[in-house]
Each structure stands twice: as C-alpha cells, then as structure tokens.
Structure 1
C-alpha cells in the first residue's frame, strides 16, 4: 500500500473517530392498514384511499406502504372509527358525519345541513380554525384527521314518489347519511343510516322509500335509477362534504418527520383529486340518466324552507346542550357568513350568468 493510501485511510478514520462524518439516516420500512367505509365498486370515493396510498409509496420511495381495505373486509363499514380509536388499524377513510351518534360535533367535520360548499369548507379547514378545532375534538377519540376528499354539492336522492310539500316527508323511510337524519326526523320522516353497498337492495325491496348517496356518477354505478324514478336536487344536507383520513394518534406519533410530511402531502393530493374526478364524471352520467328516463326534479322552495327551519332549530338546541358543538359550530358559522358574502359578489353572480349563456 502506498503512502498516499495510508494517509487517505487514516484521514477518513480520523474524521469518523471525531464524529464529523455526515449522518446517514436509513428510513425503516413502515407498513400500515387503512380501513375504508366504502365498497371497491366506487372508484371515486373508495378510490381516493388508493390514490392516497399510491402517493405515499411514491413519495417514500417504497419505504412507507399502506394497504387499503374496502368496507367490510377488516370491520363493518361504519365501524372504522372504532377500529382506529382502539388501534386495531392505523387509519381509516370515512365521512365524519357517520359518527354523529357518538357526538353531534363529528358532523361539522364533514357537512351539516345548509352548511358550506366544498371550497368554503376547505378554506375553513386550511386557513380558518377548522382543522385545529376538529383535531382538538378528535383527540378525545385518539384520532388525528387529514382531508381525504370532497364530493362537491350532492344530489338530493332517489324517491319512489314525488315530494311536493313538507307533508310528503312525513312517514318517509329515507336513507340519508349522517346528521341530516335528525332534520328528516324533525320533519316527520324516518331516517335510515345504511352503508353505500347495501342501499340498492333496501330500495329495491321497499325497505326504504327513498335514498341519497352522492351524485350521478356513483348513483348510476349503484343502479338507483332502476328502482326509483325521481331524482331530486339539491342535497341541502351536503353542500360540500369533506371525507377524511383518520389516523390513530399513537401510530401517527411514531412516524418520522419525513413520513408525517408525506402523509400531509399525499392527503392533500387525494383531497383535490377526488372532487376533480367527480366534477369530470358527473355531467356525462347525468345526461345518461336523463336519457334512461330518470325524472330530475328540484325540491320545491317550500320543502327547502321547512328543512332550513328545522335545521336551525336543531342547531339552537345543540348549542345549549353540547359544549363541543357550540365551540366548533360558532366558529364554523362565523366563517360561513363571510364566505357567503364573498361568493355572492363573485362566484354566484358569475355562475348564474354562465348557466343561461349560450356557449
């Protein structure tokens, strides 16, 4: 060995001995399971979890992998929050309002009747107090939340008979997601909380009289037009429902800073991708449903007003008895009022003109 090689090796050894060598961080492989509330057939809402998992794997160079499991594979579709809370799975993909039975405040994290649209909801979550307030609340259930998609304003659902007045709601057995059931109940209806994959059979057999899900693309895939002729709009209970990734807080805390950043980035990507997909696919599906003789009908103003009045009465009652609701709802409504003012001058006026313009 020549002299230069000896000096060179001695120099490296000296550097290492002095602790001055650059640190090399070998990221340990992470394997998680995600339980979805949705069936695989819905490539939009279920698919957002797959989009998320794929992006996590890409951003981590394959070191962080999340397997996605459809509703019913690991646990019941509406049992996923219990699974995350108890640590049975690291995370789930679901709609927070499904769990209003635990506490009504869950609903505010997704959508409440006559609430914000999707852009307003994202603004509240990202640049208002939304995510902070909701995560403070979710901490009681060992959960950390991240945005997992939005459907945009939804349709009002499929009905066997016409809805002409508020009286037509009385006795109606209506599959309606989350907190909206409280309003339907106040109006004399009979709400049913049924997972997406079970709605068709219930509607076909007459177990229910009406059902809402999301919008034209998903509803067509689920075949609701074959078992109910009237397709109502708008879904006043879901102006912009956020779907969320719920992560067990202990599992999240064990992640490296890099993997936490990857979760945040991948969830933001999946969040935007879901609504873009719905906006791209719904128009064609609606035209096809109309072509198949579906009767697309708007809720009469009288019905909307009665629904609004019932909603506001329920909110007032909750403010008086549920501290979690009062804290979050107060901030939510203050933010929404400013959003409505802004949208009135820009988005709403522009949209109303474009809907009558001939392109």
Structure 2
C-alpha cells in the first residue's frame, strides 16, 4: 500500500499510530531561568518554585525547562523585580511585599496587615478582580504575575523578651516585612529588612532583637528557637501572604498558547501544593518546639488594637496620595468585607467549636 492510500484508508489516527506523520503540536525546546528570593534550605518556599518547574517539564515532555536559582545566586534576593523587568531572567518567585519601597501597591498582591487569609486571597485572585488589577499594576514593570503559593496565617515571630504592652515595643530592632514595619514605627519599633538566609546570624549576634519569618516548620529548620525563647502569635501583618511567579512580559508574549496554558496550570498546582505542605508540617514542628522549651505567647489586646488603628491610618493616607494603591485597595477592601461577613457565620463558628474539642 502506498503512502496516499494509507492516509485515505487509515485516517489520521492510523497515520499517527504508524508514525507516518509529524506531531500536530510539536514545539521548540525552551530554556528559562527563575530567580528565587529564598534560600535552598527552605524546601517549602524555595521548593515551591521547584515543584512548578518540574510540572512544566512533565507537561511538555521535557521541552520546556526552567532552572531554579536561590536568592543571591543570580541576583540579590530583593533584586528579582529588577531582574525580571530588565530581562536579566525570564521569571522570578518572590513575596511581593518585599517591594514596598518601590510602591506599597505591591503588598496588595501578597499581604497587608489585618488583610485577607489564604482562602480569601485565592478567591480574590481567581474569582474577584485581584489578578486583573495586579496585572494592570505590574504592566509598568514588564511583569505578568501568577499566584505562586501561600503560607497561610503566619506566626508573630521570635522575641528575646516578653511583649506585655505597646510600651515594650519601644526601641525594638525587629526584622519583619516592610509594611508591618511601617505600622509598628509609631510605637518606637526599628524595622529591619533582612533576607531569610541572613536571619539566624543577625538574631544570634544581637544585630536584631526579634524577628518573624513564616511559621513553625520553617522557623524550626532555621533554628530560631535555639536563640529566642518567646514565640508570639498571630502574625497579624500576614494573615494569608501569597507568593507570586513574576514573568517578563516579553518572554511571556513569545510563548505559544499551549505553553502559556502549561505555565498557568503548573503555577496553580504549585500554589495549592505550598499551602498544603505548610498545613501538613506546621503542627508537628510546633509540638516539638514547645516540647523543647519554646514559650508561646499571644500578642496582647492593646498591641493588636494599636497596630490595627495604625494600619487603618496608613491605608487612608495611601489612598489620598497614591492613585495606584487607591484603585486596587478599594476593590481589595470591599472583597475582604464581604468575605468576613460570610466567614463569621460558617468557617469562623465551625473552627471555634472544633478548636475547643478534645479530639
């Protein structure tokens, strides 16, 4: 049977099975580099970028490879926005609130004090206007953003001394995210912005008096419980901090439609995987640290109230002075208010009941 007859009688399925035609959706091999803001020692946060890259490779039969580089390897941990913007790398994985200094609007794509929890943030991104509004904002940085994980509500951090009132905050050199630092400044706190890889020596040497990172699993791995005895909660400045994959807009535009779909699917997979990992690992780590002497403490009501009032004032001031912030924050705040009205009847009531039970 000649080739023409084969095609006529076998149809396209038979032709493909026989290896007589090229693949319909063959794509050229692509190689990208991803700059992370995190150290390799954190299998949770840094590992999320690896989960993403692995899934992209699997879904493209190895034709789309993304190499993942730890903070400081290709560029400073806090230099990844500039790296993506200038095409030094095709993409990055980072916490947007690190870039408060560029524009506080970055923080709305991650977490702001007394803001959304993890589920609410994901809902705003995928069902609300969050993804669109942040894309509009990132356009001037040549960035396309995709949700890239969430830690869930974080702990308030490690302190050498007890914080019994607002007065105890005065003069405290505290490593925290830039927005939280701004909220705490009126109480005499001296905020410090230090990458994760440098936190242990800074606390050990007394360069800082206190720090917050994420939560029990990461904190135990980094050894903070060996230096500071008091572990405070909650991290009211990040009730559900979302990490992002930042992609250079030119690199994104050059991708074929199939590969764009792959990247979006892989990012969603990594986004879900990260929160699942934290929820799965944090309970055991917390038990172990408490068992070895860590002293859990809640922030006092006066600290919480004072911080809440300070945050609201900052939001009001920013809305008057920063049009980009105002545009995004108005939608964010409305969505959060609706979410809280809903959560208080179901999730909140159910959670409070279950947490009182001895299971």
Report the TM-score when normalising by structure 2.
0.94
CA contact (8 A) 1:200 1:224 kept: yes
CA distance in 2, matches of 1:10, 1:228: 74
Q: Corresponding residue for 1:128?
A: 128
Q: Corresponding residue for 1:68?
A: 68
Larger Rg: 1
Q: 1:10 to 1:124 in 2, by over 3 A?
A: closer
CA distance in 2, matches of 1:141, 1:48: 23
Shift of 1:177: 1.5
Q: 1:88 to 1:351 in 2, by over 3 A?
A: same
Q: Corresponding residue for 1:105?
A: 105
2:244 aligned with 1:249:
no
2:352 aligned with 1:352:
yes
Per-residue CA deviations over 1:101-133 (Å, capped at 9, x if unaligned) read 000100110000000000000000000000000
Per-residue CA deviations over 1:207-242 (Å, capped at 9, x if unaligned) read 101000000000000000111110000000000000
Q: Could you tell me which runs of 5 or more consecutive residues in structure 2 were left unpaired when the two chains were aligned.
A: 10-20
CA contact (8 A) 1:174 1:210 kept: yes
Q: Corresponding residue for 2:261?
A: 261
Aligned-partner SS, 1:199: helix
2:26 aligned with 1:38:
no
2:276 aligned with 1:281:
no
CA distance in 2, matches of 1:30, 1:246: 17
Q: Corresponding residue for 2:207?
A: 207
Q: 1:30 to 1:5 in 2, by over 3 A?
A: closer
Aligned-partner SS, 2:191: strand
Q: Corresponding residue for 2:16?
A: none
CA contact (8 A) 1:187 1:310 kept: no
Aligned-partner SS, 2:24: coil
Q: Could you tell me which runs of 5 or more consecutive residues in structure 1 were left unpaired when the two chains were aligned.
A: 13-20
Q: Aligned pair count?
A: 348
CA distance in 2, matches of 1:6, 1:200: 69
- What does 1:129-278 correspond to in 2, within 5 Å? 129-278=129-278
CA contact (8 A) 2:178 2:191 kept: no
CA distance in 1, matches of 2:292, 2:265: 41
Per-residue CA deviations over 1:161-191 (Å, capped at 9, x if unaligned) read 1111111111110000131111111222100
- What does 1:56-95 correspond to in 2, within 5 Å? 56-95=56-95
Aligned-partner SS, 1:66: strand
Report the TM-score when normalising by structure 1.
0.94
CA distance in 2, matches of 1:105, 1:10: 58
Aligned-partner SS, 2:188: coil
Q: 1:29 to 1:313 in 2, by over 3 A?
A: same
Q: 1:183 to 1:24 in 2, by over 3 A?
A: same
The CA RMSD measured in Å over matched residues stands at 1.6
Shift of 1:293: 0.3
**Misfit runs of 4+, over 2 Å:** 4-12, 21-26
Shift of 1:317: 0.5
CA distance in 2, matches of 1:8, 1:336: 64
Shift of 1:202: 0.5
